[in-house]
Amino acid sequence: MLSDRELFEQIIAVLRPLAKDGAEITADTDLVDDLSLDSLKIMEVMAEIEDRFDISVPISILSDIRTVRDVILQIQKLLAEAD
């Protein structure tokens, strides 16, 4: 089972290449407003996260995801269900 810190770091590792000019990504970073991700890009990011954690993310969850914190919370929930 991953610790919260490890989970956060792995998700940041997926998002970091998308941050413009190496801007810092925090739990409060907004995927749309701060990283300028459109819906297609968010789906690509989620697909990479799915591979990394060996889970499937239902698309209904996407509408609840706005910030990095939202991503972490949803992934934590799915990982707990998978266990």
Contacting positions for other proteins (CB under 8 A): 38-41, 43, 47, 54-60, 82
28 to 8, 31, 34, 55, 72: CA distances (angstroms)? 12, 9, 10, 24, 11
CB of 46 to other proteins, least distance (A): 9
CB of 35 to other proteins, least distance (A): 15
- For the bound state, the minimum distance from the C-beta of residue 78 to other proteins, rounded and expressed in Å, comes to 10
- DSSP H helix total and E strand total for the chain: 3, 0
- Which is nearer to other proteins, 41 or 69 (by Cβ)? 41
